[in-house]
């Protein structure tokens, strides 16, 4: 997977006042960031292409993983059946999950036998746009993709609401204080405690979390 900001030479407008926080933590602390990944983070990339193109060609996801592991996909809450036809547009929310249990799981599964049972919420915009352009996409990771892709996205960096990040850091402050080996805020080394004391303001920040 490539760095979102370096993907395929995209020209992406810079933030006027970007804040960049990089944490290096023990592996056992990665689950502390789970809710951020479930709630959704955004990444930059070329949009107007298929889900398969977006995830595999731009972010290095293996086609086999997409086909076999990610069995349940939503675009803006619509259940997707064909990853080669469903288009990722600018501002879209793309949610990735493994196969789910039960009838509901079977019904929501991509291209599944029971897809007709959720016809009203199936993704219908299956035409790839004529041209790709730079844009941003909200990604939500659930269950197995959360465990398997979450650390990769965190290492390469995600854009997420700053107040949500601060809430996560506060909620696990004691654990992170112990297990956070390095804190870099806007390019400068810092301490975890100082990070919590900073005024984060509003807006989004670029968060990277690396494992020791």
Partner 1 sequence: MNILRIDMGASGGPKVSVVPSGEYAGLGGRALTSSVISKEVPPLCHPLSEDNKLVIAPGLLSGTSAAQSGRISVGCKSPLTGGIKESNSGGQPSQVLARLGYAAIILEGKPKEGNLYKIFINKDGVKITPDSSLKLLGNYALVEKMKKEYGDKIACISIGPAGEMKMSAASVAFTDMEQRPTRHAGRGGPGAVMGSKGVKVIVLDDTGLSNRTPKDPEKLRTANKTFVDGLRKHPVTGEGLPAFGTNILANVINEAGAYPTNNFLVGRFPGISKISGETQAETEKARGGIPTHGCHRGCVIQCSGVYMDKDGHYLTKQPEYETVWAHGANCGIDDLDAIAMMDRLDDDYGIDTIEMGATIGVAMEAGLAKFGDAEAAIRLVKEVGKGTDLGRILGNGAAVTGKVFGIERVPVVKSQAMPAYDPRAVQGIGVTYATSTMGADHTAGYAVATNILKVGGYVDPLKPEGQIDLSRNLQIATAAIDSTGMCLFIAFAVLDQPDTFQALIDMLNAFYGLNLTADDVVALGKNVLKMERDFNACAGFTAKHDRLPEYFKKEPLPPHNVTFQVTDEDLDRVYNW
Give the footprint of partner 1 on this chain (CB under 8 A).
31, 34-35, 38-39, 69, 71-72, 74, 77-79, 95, 97-108, 113-121, 140, 142-144, 146-147
Backbone angles phi, psi at 137, to 5 degrees: -135, 135
For residue 39, the minimal CB distance to partner 1 (Å) is 5
Q: In whole angstroms, what is the distance from residue 86 CA to residue 83 CA?
A: 5
For residue 201, the minimal CB distance to partner 1 (Å) is 23
Looking at beta carbons only, is 101 or 202 nearer to partner 1?
101
Q: For residues 200 and 155, is the Cβ–Cβ distance under 8 A? A: no
DSSP helix/strand/coil, 100: coil
For residue 186, the minimal CB distance to partner 1 (Å) is 27
Q: Write out the two tokens for 165.
A: 């990040």
Q: In whole angstroms, what is the distance from residue 104 CA to residue 112 CA?
A: 11
Looking at beta carbons only, is 105 or 125 nearer to partner 1?
105
DSSP helix/strand/coil, 45: strand
Looking at beta carbons only, is 1 or 115 nearer to partner 1?
115
Looking at beta carbons only, is 142 or 159 nearer to partner 1?
142
Closest C-alpha to 80, from 58, 43, 54: 54
Looking at beta carbons only, is 35 or 194 nearer to partner 1?
35
Looking at beta carbons only, is 54 or 142 nearer to partner 1?
142
For residue 102, the minimal CB distance to partner 1 (Å) is 6
For residue 37, the minimal CB distance to partner 1 (Å) is 9
For residue 137, the minimal CB distance to partner 1 (Å) is 15
Closest C-alpha to 88, from 139, 144, 39: 139
Sequential DSSP letters for 48-99: SEEHHIIIIIIT---HHIIIII--EEEETTEEPS-TTTSEE-TT-EEEEE--
């Amino acid at each position: 997977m490539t760095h979102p900001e370096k993907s395929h030479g995209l020209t992406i407008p810079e933030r006027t006042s970007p804040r960049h926080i990089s944490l290096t933590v023990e592996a056992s602390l990665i689950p502390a960031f789970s809710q951020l990944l479930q709630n959704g983070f955004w990444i930059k990339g070329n949009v107007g292409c298929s889900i398969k193109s977006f995830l595999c060609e731009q972010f290095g996801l293996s086609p086999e993983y997409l086909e076999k592991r990610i069995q349940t996909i939503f675009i803006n809450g619509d259940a997707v059946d064909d990853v080669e036809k469903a288009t990722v547009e600018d501002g879209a929310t793309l949610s990735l999950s493994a196969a789910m249990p039960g009838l509901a799981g079977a019904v929501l599964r991509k291209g599944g036998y029971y897809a007709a049972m959720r016809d009203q919420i199936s993704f219908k915009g299956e035409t790839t746009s004529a041209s790709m352009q730079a844009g941003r996409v909200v990604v939500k990771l659930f269950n197995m993709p959360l465990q398997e892709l979450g650390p990769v996205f965190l290492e390469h960096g995600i854009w997420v609401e700053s107040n949500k990040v601060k809430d996560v850091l506060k909620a696990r402050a004691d654990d992170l204080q112990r297990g956070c080996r390095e804190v870099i805020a806007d390019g400068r080394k810092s301490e975890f405690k100082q990070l919590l004391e900073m005024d984060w303001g509003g807006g989004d920040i670029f968060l990277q979390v690396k494992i020791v």
